[in-house]
Structure formats: structure tokens, C-alpha cells
């Protein structure tokens, strides 16, 4: 029998809660009003009372619109159970009661670890009840009230719930009332779906409090809210709501009353999960979006498919279909951004065409970025290899002289899994062309697909190619890729570059694999990863003793140890002596080795002439090597050549604009030029990306001091000392400042450092710096001279350009003599 909506007179199926046309709450034309809240039994069962001759009541667990639940003991089987009593109003409706019995029987047949076991259905003279397993734990709803769940726990619970639904759907049972309140989580983290026996009745009552249908409406699918026939896809929708709730702590659809809630379910698009939780992977967001498709035909059709996606994501693999949806989403975003400019484009079209006719062909593309390649191997353990392909391609393109700008790895890696359009990325990186790619297979053969785009002003595909090569020929493959890319952006290779690509030799697969793993760890630049990198590079050399990349990697590890200050330079060098001697003996050294030599000769040997030769050679071999240019800028400042220095650091920033180290080095250059406000901005940028970044944190204190922000300088330096484990010095700064202000703070710090230097390695420059801030000329000079005599303090190279030394000591004969001993320019830096 149809139910007539009292609001709009629309006829609705009898099994309907809300009007399919206007969303108004409906009243049944049958004898009982099944959309009305049923009154829970007012008679409480007393503790110790016996029901059905076997159940001893222990306590009431809860009550609501759906009835009362008691904890009881089954005295026959000696087990704890939960007894759920139907509301009295339902017990006396024959159709509902018989349907309830049939579905309780079906639920009792379900045997699955993620479904609460239904033992039996029984009834007394007054009411009917279900006996089910008693579960120690709390409802998922209660758990979420403490805050959103983390990714690991969300995926764990979601997978278990999906497996429970999978079992039910196989048996032809649709729950129809999946919600966080109907999922229990045990103390051991096991999820249990509750209330299968009440599912059909729940569809008709859907009540949680007197006079309201709000509680479960929030989880209803659009077709369920409209009273249309439902199948397993309604459970999938409700499951999507629960998944959204676990990650955000909120339900996706909201409303102040019944109709508003139903309208939101049918019409509104929920706020993206990643808006509330940016760290949530886009792949999870795609699962939720597909589960919450309004049209059930566009939803997951089977829970099996959704479960497969969850398991893949848990294993670190993004399923192909989700990748396709992500790409489509990015494309829609790109198209949308193009549409905004559509009207202006039409207006300007004639002018643009005329401009082309007058000016001739457009300039050749000479700036490019290789975006992080996607890992489609199906193995997350191969990510190091995929990142290695990205690095190698960047390295090959960087050595092409015709390319003015090839963006470095650090800046492009921030675009991994981004949803930004290619034009947006190109504008941020200030390049004309972008390369996207995927790695499909790694093993005896490597399969890589690349696509080249002219990204500005609009995205335009220029070239696509797939490369399939034995792993022994990957070096040749990278050369082919680079050559093909340059050909398609009309950049000419020099004769030497063509020869180099053609002469790429075969590689030992084991050596290459170990090298990539070593590189992966070295780039993390912490003591543990450096040790791992050393072992992998050593393993690569066992397989191929003359493998130049691994030899270079060994030298980089030695440099890494020195940079981190975890061991003295001599000890760090000793770890890689054999590799270092071998690469230094090479006739054709790669750019990385010349860079390494340049930094050693600057901050270790202070051999200024040979250092510059190495900088220039490294840049000649790889003009797009930002590290060389960044440190060369510091060398040039030390040599009092500021114009050349600023050119080099600005070039480095073009090549790697988002690298916090380069931002810090740039800030130091600006500080040498006494452009303190600009320097502070750069240091703060770096610290925003990497809190407590060593160079930025240290130099920011200097900039504050030079600006006259003395209190801020003390606070900044205190934080720096805490970050490097010198808490005693930080405490001395605090106590000194509280005692007599800034000057006393610096003296206290210097004296504490002096005492510590008697027991452990403390760089003399730390002590001389503190004394210089306090205005103690003689003590500052004493420790500068000790730093020079010790030969272990690389910071001494900067004393001729550091403003606080120059301002305080520039006219002192001892200071000038020290500069001469170091073969450094005497006098102030010309601005």
C-alpha cells in the first residue's frame, strides 16, 4: 500500500520513511506508525532475575529507542551474553515480528570473527529478545568521540568491518543500519558488527531518541532515504560514512532537522577528507568518494572491490583504478583552471595570432622539471628504485649545457602525489616544460613510461615514450631519455654530450641496486641512514670495485659525517679513504667529486686557488648542479667578491627554490650584505619547512643580533643549543639573562662552553661568537686564534664576512693578522 505524503501528496512505497519528492517525514497508513519513536520498556529487569529459565540478569548495559540491552549469564552454557529486547510496540506488530524472526535466524547463521554472533531468538509473554555474544570493549562511535583515528587504526578497523560485510553479503544479508554505534571494538582491537538481527526493523524505525530520527539518518544512503528498494550497495554507502567519520571525527552530511539531513544526503557533496586531515592519502579519499556516490550504479558494486582497495592501500600500493580516478580529478582541476581564463583567451586570440606573425616562432624551451615518477610496480619496497630513476633523469638533463634550468630533486619531490595542475607547478618552479612518468616493472627488465609537457601558458603534451630495457642497460636508457627530451624541446646537444650519452656503459645489476639503496639513505642525512648508506655503497663496490657512482657515494658519506659534526673530519675521512683515493685518481672525475673537492679545499684545507678550480670544473660538467653554486657563493663572499657570489646563490635558488638548506645559505649571503630583514625572511622560510634546521636556526640568531633585537637573539640561540644537545649552554643563557640582561647571558654561555670544551669537542667558534656578542674583544680574539691553530674549526673561514666579528674586531691588529695568516682579504666587505 502506498503512503501519501501529507506535504506534497506524492505517492511513496509503503516501506518508506521520507517522501521521495520533498523529503518530508512520512506516516504509515497501516495500523501502527512505524516512523514514530517507540517507547522503551519502563519495567527494568532486576539484577539476579532469571529469564527464559536460563539467563540470569547481571546489569543493564544501555537503553534507547530500539530497546534495552542487558548483560546476562547463560547458566546452561556458562557464558556471558547480551540480551537485546525489542520495544514493546514492535512485539505486537505481527508482520514486523515475523520479519524480525526470519532475519534473526539468518544472522544467527553468520559465523565470522567480525560479526557479533547471534545465539538465538526467544520471547516471553511480554516481549521478544535476542541472545548474542557479549563483547568487552567500546563502540566505534564512543572511540571516535575521543578524536579522529590515525591512519593505521582506521585501515585496520575498516578492513575488519568490510570483511564482516563481505561474509554477510555472500549469504544474501544486507545490514541496512551500518553506523559507528553498531560497530564494537574489543580491547584487542577486533571490530565486531552488531545488530544484524535488527537490521530490517532498524530500517523501518531508525530511531535513537524519543521523537527524533536524526541518529541513523546520517548514515542512510540516498535511495534508502527516498524509500527506494535497497541492496548491498546501501551498506557500502553507510560504510563510507563510517570511514569518513573515523578519519575526521565528523559525519559527512549534516542538518538541523530530518528534512535538512535527507536533503544534504541527496544533494550535498561532503567536505573533502583532506581538507580536515591533509595528511590523509588521496587514495583513501578516493575510496570514500566512490563509496559515497549518490548514484548506486557509480558506487562500489560489491564490498569485495572496496575491501581489495583497502588492503592494497594498507600495503602501500595505490590500486590502478584509484590512480586513474586521481589522474581524472587532476585533469578536471586543470581544465577548470583553464576555463577561468577562457573569456580573456577568446578576446586576446586575434592579438596573439598577430603577435606570432610579427615576431616569428616562440623561443625554444630551456627550463624543465622532472616530477617524481610514480611507482606502479605493485611493490612499495621498490620506491628507492623509482626515486633513483627520477634522480638519474634529473642528473642526465642537468648536464646538458643547452638547458638553462633543470630543477633539483629537493624541490620537485614536494609534488609527489600532488593534485596541482601542471601549469600551477610550472609557475611555482618557474619552468616551461615538465616531465611526468611511471615505472611499471623492476627486475631483470625495467619498464618506464615518460610524458613531456609544454606547461605554459596551457598544458600541451609534446611527447610520450615507453622504455623497456634489461637492468644492465639502464644507464644507456637514461641517456636515451635525456636525448629524446632535449630533441622534443629543440635543445641542441654538444658533440661531447652526444658522445657521453652514446658511451654509457652497462651496469652490474647488483651494484646498481645497492647504489640506489645507498643513495636513498644518504639523502636523509642523519647518522643512522649515513651508516646504512655506507654499507650499501660498500656492497655495490664488492660487486663492481670500479663503479664510479658508488665510489662517489662513499665520499659523500664522509662529507655527510663532517657536515653533521658526528665525528671529527679526519675520522670521517678515514671511513672512506680507499674510495676517496680511487676517485681522486680518476682522469675523468664526475661533477660530484669536483664539488666534494671544492668544499674540502674551502673549509678543510683553505686552499683558495684549488678550491675555485674545483667549483668551476663542477659547474662546467653540470651547469644545473645547485649545491655547487650555493656553496660557491659562500666561497666568493669569503673572497670578498659579492657580485659574483649573489649571482651564484640566485642561480642555485632558481634550480632548487624550495630547498631549506639553500634558503638558509641564501639568507647567510644576504646577511653578509647586511640586508638583515631579507635574511630573516629566508631563515624563517627554511625553519617553516624544517623546524630547528641547523644553519637557519644558528644564522637567525646572528641576524637578530645585528638588527639590535638582542632578546630575540638570545632566545633563538637558546633554542639552537637545545636542538644540538647543549642544554647546559641554553640554561646558562637563561640564567645569565635573568641575572643581568643580554651581555651577561652571552658571557655565561661562553664560560659554560669553555668548561665543556675541557671534556668534549666544542668548536672554538662557538665560544668566540658568544664573547663577541658580549663585546669581549680579547677573549673573542683568543678563541678565534685557537680555532685557527686547532685546524678543526671550519667556521673560521667566515670571520672576515661575519658582521658581528667585523664590527667588533675589524680594526684590531690581531684580527687583521689572523686574516693574513688565513690568506683572507683584510678589510670590510664592499656592499
Residues acting as catalytic residues: 177
Per DSSP, 330 falls in state: H
Residue in 527, 531, 565 with CA at minimum distance from that of residue 726:
565
Query: What is the Cα 810 distance to its own chain's centre?
Result: 48
Determine which helix (DSSP H) or strand (DSSP E) holds 462, and give its type and residue range: strand 460-470
What is the CA angle 313-319-323, rounded to 5?
115
Residue written as grid cell 615507453? 466
What is the C-alpha to C-alpha distance for residues 482 and 17, in angstroms, rounded to an integer? 64
Residue in 706, 662, 705 with CA at minimum distance from that of residue 685:
662
Residue in 159, 154, 161 with CA at minimum distance from that of residue 114:
161
What is the C-alpha to C-alpha distance for residues 209 and 139, in angstroms, rounded to an integer? 17
- Using an 8 Å Cβ cutoff, are 473 and 347 in contact? no
Report helix, strand or coil for 338. helix
What is the C-alpha to C-alpha distance for residues 677 and 671, in angstroms, rounded to an integer? 9
Report helix, strand or coil for 452. strand
What is the C-alpha to C-alpha distance for residues 620 and 615, in angstroms, rounded to an integer? 9
| Backbone phi and psi for residue 18, each to the nearest 5 degrees, phi listed first | -135, 150
What is the C-alpha to C-alpha distance for residues 624 and 399, in angstroms, rounded to an integer? 7
For the chain, the 3-state helix, strand and coil shares in percent, each to the nearest 5, are 55, 10, 30
The per-residue DSSP string of 495-561 comes to HHHHHHHHTPPP--HHHHHHHHHHHHHHTT-SHHHHHHHHHHHHHHHHH-TT-HHHHHHHHHHHHHH
Contacts of 296 (CB under 8 A, 6+ apart): 221, 223, 231, 233, 234, 237
Residue written as grid cell 685557537? 786
Residue in 124, 122, 94, 127 with CA at minimum distance from that of residue 108:
122
Side-chain-side CA neighbours of residue 800 (13 Å): 25
Sheet hosting strand 137-139, strand order edge to edge = 137-139, 183-186, 191-193
Per DSSP, 657 falls in state: T
Report helix, strand or coil for 68. strand
Report helix, strand or coil for 94. helix
The CB density around residue 283, as the number of other CB atoms within 10 Å, is 19
Residue in 418, 269, 270 with CA at minimum distance from that of residue 330:
418
Residue written as grid cell 596541482? 420
What is the C-alpha to C-alpha distance for residues 43 and 61, in angstroms, rounded to an integer? 15
Amino acid at each position: 500500500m502506498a503512503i501519501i505524503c501529507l506535504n506534497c501528496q506524492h505517492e511513496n512505497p509503503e516501506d518508506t520513511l521520507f517522501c521521495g519528492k520533498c523529503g518530508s517525514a512520512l506516516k504509515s497508513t497501516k495500523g501502527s506508525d512505524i516512523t514514530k519513536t517507540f517507547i522503551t520498556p519502563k519495567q527494568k529487569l532486576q539484577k539476579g532475575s532469571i529469564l527464559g529459565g536460563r539467563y540470569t540478569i547481571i546489569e543493564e548495559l544501555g537503553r534507547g529507542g530500539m530497546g534495552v540491552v542487558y548483560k546476562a549469564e547463560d547458566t546452561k552454557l556458562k557464558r556471558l551474553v547480551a540480551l537485546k529486547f525489542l520495544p514493546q510496540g514492535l512485539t505486537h506488530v505481527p508482520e514486523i515480528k515475523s520479519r524480525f524472526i526470519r532475519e534473526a535466524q539468518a544472522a544467527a547463521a553468520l559465523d565470522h570473527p567480525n560479526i557479533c554472533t547471534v545465539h538465538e531468538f526467544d520471547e516471553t509473554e511480554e516481549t521478544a529478545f535476542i541472545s548474542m555474544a557479549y563483547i568487552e570493549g567500546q563502540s566505534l562511535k564512543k572511540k571516535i568521540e575521543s578524536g579522529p583515528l590515525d591512519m593505521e587504526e582506521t585501515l585496520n578497523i575498516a578492513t575488519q568491518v568490510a570483511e564482516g560485510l563481505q561474509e554477510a553479503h555472500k549469504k544474501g544479508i544486507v545490514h541496512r543500519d551500518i553506523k559507528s554505534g553498531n560497530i564494537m571494538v574489543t580491547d584487542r582491537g577486533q571490530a565486531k558488527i552488531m545488530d544484524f538481527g535488527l537490521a530490517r526493523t532498524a530500517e523501518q524505525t531508525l530511531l535513537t531518541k524519543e521523537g527524533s530520527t536524526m541518529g541513523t539518518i546520517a548514515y542512510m544512503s540516498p535511495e534508502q532515504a527516498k524509500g527506494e528498494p535497497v541492496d548491498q550497495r546501501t551498506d557500502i554507502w553507510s560504510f563510507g560514512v563510517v570511514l569518513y567519520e573515523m578519519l575526521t571525527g565528523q559525519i559527512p552530511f549534516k542538518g538541523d532537522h530530518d528534512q535538512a539531513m535527507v536533503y544534504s544526503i541527496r544533494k550535498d557533496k561532503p567536505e573533502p577528507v583532506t581538507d580536515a586531515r591533509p595528511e590523509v592519502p588521496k587514495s583513501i579519499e578516493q575510496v570514500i568518494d566512490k563509496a559515497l556516490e549518490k548514484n548506486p550504479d557509480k558506487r562500489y558494486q560489491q564490498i569485495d572491490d572496496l575491501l581489495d582497495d583497502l588492503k592494497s592501500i594498507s600495503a602501500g600500493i595505490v590500486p590502478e583504478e584509484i590512480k586513474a580516478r586521481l589522474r581524472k580529478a587532476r585533469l578536471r582541476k586543470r581544465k577548470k583552471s583553464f576555463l577561468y581564463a577562457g573569456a580573456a583567451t577568446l578576446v586576446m586570440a586575434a592579438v596573439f595570432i598577430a603577435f606570432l606573425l610579427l615576431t616569428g616562432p616562440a623561443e625554444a624551451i630551456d627550463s624543465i622539471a622532472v616530477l617524481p615518477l610514480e611507482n606502479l610496480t605493485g611493490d612499495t619496497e621498490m620506491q628507492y628504485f623509482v626515486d633513483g630513476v627520477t634522480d638519474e633523469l634529473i642528473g642526465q638533463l642537468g648536464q646538458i649545457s643547452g638547458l638553462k634550468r633543470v630543477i633539483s630533486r629537493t624541490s620537485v619531490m614536494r609534488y609527489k602525489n600532488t593534485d596541482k595542475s601542471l601549469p600551477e607547478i610550472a609557475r611555482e618552479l618557474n619552468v616551461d616544460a615538465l616531465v611526468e612518468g611511471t615505472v611499471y616493472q623492476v627486475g631483470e627488465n625495467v619498464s618506464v613510461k615518460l610524458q613531456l609537457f609544454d606547461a605554459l601558458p596551457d598544458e600541451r603534451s609534446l611527447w610520450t615514450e615507453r622504455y623497456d630495457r634489461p637492468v644492465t642497460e639502464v644507464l644507456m636508457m637514461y641517456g636515451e631519455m635525456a636525448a629524446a627530451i632535449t630533441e622534443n624541446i629543440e635543445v641542441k646537444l654538444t658533440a661531447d654530450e652526444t658522445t657521453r650519452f652514446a658511451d654509457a656503459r652497462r651496469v652490474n645489476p647488483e651494484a646498481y641496486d645497492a647504489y640506489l639503496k645507498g643513495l636513498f639513505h644518504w639523502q636523509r642525512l642523519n647518522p643512522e641512514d649515513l651508516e646504512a648508506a655506507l654499507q650499501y655503497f660498500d656492497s655495490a663496490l664488492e660487486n663492481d670495485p670500479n663503479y664510479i657512482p658508488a665510489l662517489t657515494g662513499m665520499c659523500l658519506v664522509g662529507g655527510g659525517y663532517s657536515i653533521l659534526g658526528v665525528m671529527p673530519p679526519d675520522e670521517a675521512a678515514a671511513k672512506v679513504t680507499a674510495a676517496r683515493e680511487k676517485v681522486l685518481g680518476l682522469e675523468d672525475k664526475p661533477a660530484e667529486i669536483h664539488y666534494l673537492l671544492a668544499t674540502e679545499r674551502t673549509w678543510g684545507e683553505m686552499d683558495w686557488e684549488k678550491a675555485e678550480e674545483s667549483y668551476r670544473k663542477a659547474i662546467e660538467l653540470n651547469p644545473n648542479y645547485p649545491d655547487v653554486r650555493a656553496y660557491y657563493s659562500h666561497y666568493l663572499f669569503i673572497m670578498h667578491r659579492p657580485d659574483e657570489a649573489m649571482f651564484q646563490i640566485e642561480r642555485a635558488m632558481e634550480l632548487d627554490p624550495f630547498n631549506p638548506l639553500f634558503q638558509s645559505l641564501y639568507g647567510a649571503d644576504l646577511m653578509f650584505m647586511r640586508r638583515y630583514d631579507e635574511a630573516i625572511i629566508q631563515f624563517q622560510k627554511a625553519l617553516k619547512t624544517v623546524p630547528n634546521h641547523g644553519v637557519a636556526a644558528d644564522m637567525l640568531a646572528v641576524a637578530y643580533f645585528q638588527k639590535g633585537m638582542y632578546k630575540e637573539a638570545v632566545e633563538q640561540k637558546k633554542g639552537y643549543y637545545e636542538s644540538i644537545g647543549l642544554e647546559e649552554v641554553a640554561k646558562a643563557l637563561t640564567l645569565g639573562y635573568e641575572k643581568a640582561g643580554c651581555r651577561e647571558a652571552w658571557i655565561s654561555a661562553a664560560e659554560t662552553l669553555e668548561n665543556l670544551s675541557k671534556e668534549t669537542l666544542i668548536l672554538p667558534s662557538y665560544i668566540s661568537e658568544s664573547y663577541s656578542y658580549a663585546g669581549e674583544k680579547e677573549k673573542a680574539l683568543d678563541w678565534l686564534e685557537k680555532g685557527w691553530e686547532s685546524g678543526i674549526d671550519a667556521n673560521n673561514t667566515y670571520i672576515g664576512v661575519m658582521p658581528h666579528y667585523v664590527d667588533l674586531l675589524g680594526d684590531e691588529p690581531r684580527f687583521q693578522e689572523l686574516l693574513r695568516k688565513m690568506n683572507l682579504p683584510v678589510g670590510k666587505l664592499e656592499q
